[in-house]
Amino acid sequence: MSEVQSTGPRKRAGPRDVRWYCDVDSPVGTLRIVVDSEAVIGLYHGEHVPPPTAEVLGHPVSVPSDPPAGVPRGHVMPHAAPRTGDDAGGERIRPIAAAGESVVEAPDTSRRLLVRTAGELREYFAGSRRRFDVTVVLQGTAFQCSVWAALRDIPFGERRSYRDIAEQLGNASMGRAVGAAVRANPVSIIVPGHRIVASTGAVVGYAAGIGVKTALLEHETAVHPRNPLRATAPAESGEVQSCGGAWWTAGRSFQAEP
């Protein structure tokens, strides 16, 4: 079980306050991974609505489309757009600082986390991974955290309705509030908001569009054929717990704002 970080306000900036991101290709378009020094804190689609702000993304880091076993090293420059294109030998493209700009080096832990997350996403789309192992930390209200924890309990290849989640949380009438929390989920796919559908089974509402949501659901059904609406106990063991406003499941923590 991952360590649950303090949810209290930070009095001064530290490593956890600096964010790094990279773009990776996928069968459903560009995915943008955001990390700090310890965990994944965002995963956005290229066509995410609303799009993440520069403050949410942090500093860009370029990683190889097919990274080597070792950790790629290099530098990143604040406010520089991700650089793409052909690169001799498949090495990471190193951004060059403009006049008067300082070059910022991403910490090893953040680079490793970006590469590992990109690798797990490739395995997911290749059909060899059904559960993500990277640590994810999300900050939100206590209610949002409870919804996000419930999303993590939906087994690969299955679906739940907004009402199902509301009932699971003890109030069947708060389906709309559940929908708002699902839309606020900053870590797509890994925290699988795409597995939430209407009570009729219709595919509705997704930050990257219904087409992308449908593609993700069809991918999981093809990899693991089963009755997608079957009501079963969660595939992942580990009861969702709370402590000081923080919610977590094995390998992931969810932080509630005070």
Domain closes at, from 75, 93, 126: 126
Residue 78's pLDDT is what? 31
Position 156 in a domain: yes
Domain closes at, from 102, 126, 150: 126
| C-alpha to C-alpha distances, 255 to 3, 5, 71, 169, 178, nearest whole angstrom | 11, 8, 28, 18, 17
For 28-37, what is each residue's pLDDT tens digit?
Answer: 999 999 999 9
Residues 210, 112 within the same domain: no
Residues 121, 157 within the same domain: no
Query: Is residue 40 within 8 Å of 117, Cβ to Cβ?
Result: yes
Query: Is residue 46 within 8 Å of 29, Cβ to Cβ?
Result: yes
Position 37 in a domain: yes
Q: Which residue has the tokens 């965002």?
A: 42
Query: Is residue 117 within 8 Å of 134, Cβ to Cβ?
Result: yes
Tokens matching residue 44: 């956005």
For residues 78 and 61, give the distance between their C-alpha atoms in angstroms, rounded to a whole number: 10
Position 64 in a domain: yes
Residues 162, 61 within the same domain: no
Going by the DSSP 8-state scheme, the letter that residue 193 receives in this structure is: G
Query: Is residue 208 within 8 Å of 48, Cβ to Cβ?
Result: yes
Residues 160, 113 within the same domain: no
Number of domains in the chain: 2
pTM of the full structure: 0.72
Residue 17's pLDDT is what? 75
Position 87 in a domain: yes
For 138-177, what is each residue's pLDDT tens digit?
Answer: 999 999 999 999 999 999 999 999 999 999 999 999 999 9
Residues 170, 81 within the same domain: no
Residue type, 34: V
For residues 38 and 180, give the distance between their C-alpha atoms in angstroms, rounded to a whole number: 27
- Burial of residue 176, with CB atoms counted within 10 A of its CB: 0-12 exposed, 13-18 middle, 19 or more buried: exposed
For residues 255 and 238, give the distance between their C-alpha atoms in angstroms, rounded to a whole number: 17
Tokens matching residue 168: 């699971």
CATH of the domain at 175: 1.10.10.10
- Sheet harboring 137-140: ordered strands across? 137-140, 252-256, 246-249, 241-243
Residue 246's pLDDT is what? 34
Position 1 in a domain: no
Residues 71, 43 within the same domain: yes
Position 6 in a domain: no
Residues 187, 156 within the same domain: yes
Residues 46, 153 within the same domain: no
List, in order, residues 6 or more apart from 209 with CB less than 8 Å away. Answer: 47, 49
For 90-110, what is each residue's pLDDT tens digit?
Answer: 333 333 334 444 446 788 899
Position 3 in a domain: no
Residues 166, 68 within the same domain: no
Residues 93, 151 within the same domain: no
Residues 100, 147 within the same domain: no
Residue 229's pLDDT is what? 54
In angstroms, what is the C-alpha Rg of the chain?
19
pLDDT along the chain (258 residues), means of 10: 32 64 94 95 95 93 57 32 35 37 72 94 95 95 96 95 95 93 97 95 93 95 69 34 31 42
Residue 224's pLDDT is what? 73
For residues 242 and 148, give the distance between their C-alpha atoms in angstroms, rounded to a whole number: 13
Cβ atoms within 10 A of the Cβ of 86, count? 6
Residue 218's pLDDT is what? 95
Residues 206, 176 within the same domain: yes
Residue type, 166: A
Q: Which residues are 33's β-sheet partners?
A: 22, 43
Position 198 in a domain: yes
Which range of residues forms the domain containing residue 200? Answer: 138-256
Residue 228's pLDDT is what? 55
